[in-house]
Amino acid sequence: MWDICFRRIRLIDPVQGLDEITDLAIRGETIAGVGEYIEGQARLEISGEGLILTHGLADLHTHVGGRGFCPLAVPADDAGIYRSVTLLGDAGTAGESNFTGLLEAVRLSRTRIRHFLNIHPKGIAELPQNWSEPQDFAAFAERVEQYRDRICGIKLLAVSSFVEHAGIAGLEKIKKLAMSLQLPLMVHIGTEPDGALPSCWEAFCDALPRMLDAGDILSHCYTGKPGGLITPDRRFYAPLRQAAARGVVFDTAVALTHFLFSVARQGLDDGFLPTCVSTDLTLRNCQRIVCDLPLVMSRFLALGLPLSEIVRCVTERPYKALGVECGILAPGWPATLSVLAVEEQPILFGEGKDSLAGALRLVPFGAVLNGRFFQATKGENVLI
């Protein structure tokens, strides 16, 4: 007797090079069998017609904790397990002064979470961030050591106020701090809110990719905002190509306003492929435009990326970026799984002039975690 069995489901595992229709059986918290026809009954049998089964999806870039912790933060399970995502990267929602409060806010969440600690003391709980005063890096380092098991990196918002008050010298200090703590640095690029950049912005944008190492993360890689690195004149391409060759992570972090299809098309055509496909999910976009990770995966299908490559961008690579082992869909491995439904129908991604028509949408169906199947909930999306 199996606990859960998926029958005739499309299984995609880029690590093993698998894309096939098969059965997958689970006993306890472990994959017990994978094969074309698995004998025996299960307590829960799920027909795989119209479904895709992958290793548990990981969204590298979200903001969780709920409105009670931060006005922008989404309840973790609403971004995670109930949207077919089993692992979340919290991208700097909290800093050293309020990180314990964030941990309390997500304490009962079923979805696994790894945190990038914001270099600013209060994270994004207070925006815009004030960079006119020096930061206490000693307190930051102490908080990292206190929660090494939860913190996987450092988050920096390289927005106008940071470039103006801290500049390249400030970036160098934070990069040295990251190196001393042996943590990757995730950098938000593109101004927020919109506005004129300081006079030193071009020098800063040129220096930033040169300073990043393998495992460091450039978030909002396809932003059209001032301060982005994929520009019509391609002025930052030389250091950007060098960064990509070193293994710097290109993170989509789509959000409401940090992604343009025209920039993404230029970047893809010029060889700047995403390392990780992520949402930057917040309360501002969880019901429109972004909604969930499978919908963001769908927009990259519309842009022409192969499904197997997109699955790699939401499994193997973000797991590595988050410092978590990514399993495979084979007997003996943990049954950490995501199930997506495939809807073949016309769909318009984005809105207004910056939009793209597609013909297929991936929809959350469910997930398996810790021996339990979680049925996805489908919210009412105002705009997609």
**pTM, two decimal places:** 0.96
Query: Side chain identity at 383, as an amino acid letter?
Result: L
| pLDDT tens sequence across 257-295 | 999 999 999 999 999 999 999 999 999 999 888 999 999
In this prediction, residue 209 carries a pLDDT of: 98
Closest CA to 99 of 76, 122, 126: 122
Strands 30-35, 18-27: parallel, antiparallel or unpaired by DSSP?
antiparallel
User: For residue 53, what are the CA distances in angstroms to 9, 12, 167, 276, 304?
Assistant: 7, 6, 45, 19, 21
| C-alpha span between 152 and 135 (Å, rounded) | 20
DSSP secondary structure of 216-268:
-EEESTT--STT-S--TT-TTHHHHHHHHHHT-EEE---TTTS--HHHHHHHH
| C-alpha span between 16 and 245 (Å, rounded) | 24
Handedness of CA 327, 328, 332, 335 (dihedral sign): positive
| pLDDT tens sequence across 25-68 | 999 999 999 998 899 999 999 999 999 999 999 999 999 999 99
For the residues 159-183, what does the mean pLDDT come to?
Answer: 94
| pLDDT tens sequence across 316-348 | 999 999 999 999 999 999 999 999 999 999 999
Q: Rounded to the nearest 5 degrees, what angle is found at the Cα of 315, between the Cα atoms of 311 and 321?
A: 130
Backbone angles phi, psi at 205, to 5 degrees: -65, -30
Domains and CATH numbers, the chain: 2-54+330-375 (2.30.40.10), 57-321 (3.20.20.140)
For the residues 123-127, what does the mean pLDDT come to?
Answer: 86
3-state SS assignment for residue 111: coil
User: For residue 219, what are the CA distances in angstroms to 83, 150, 271, 338, 367?
Assistant: 22, 20, 17, 24, 26
| C-alpha span between 98 and 328 (Å, rounded) | 36
Closest CA to 336 of 64, 90, 112: 112
| pLDDT tens sequence across 131-151 | 766 678 999 999 999 999 999
3-state SS assignment for residue 100: helix
| C-alpha span between 222 and 94 (Å, rounded) | 24
DSSP secondary structure of 47-93:
E-TTEEEEEPEEEEEE-BS-TTT-TTPBPHHHHTGGGTEEEEEEEEE
Q: Read off the pLDDT band of 195 (50, 70, 90).
A: low
Cβ proximity of 89 and 116 under 8 Å: yes
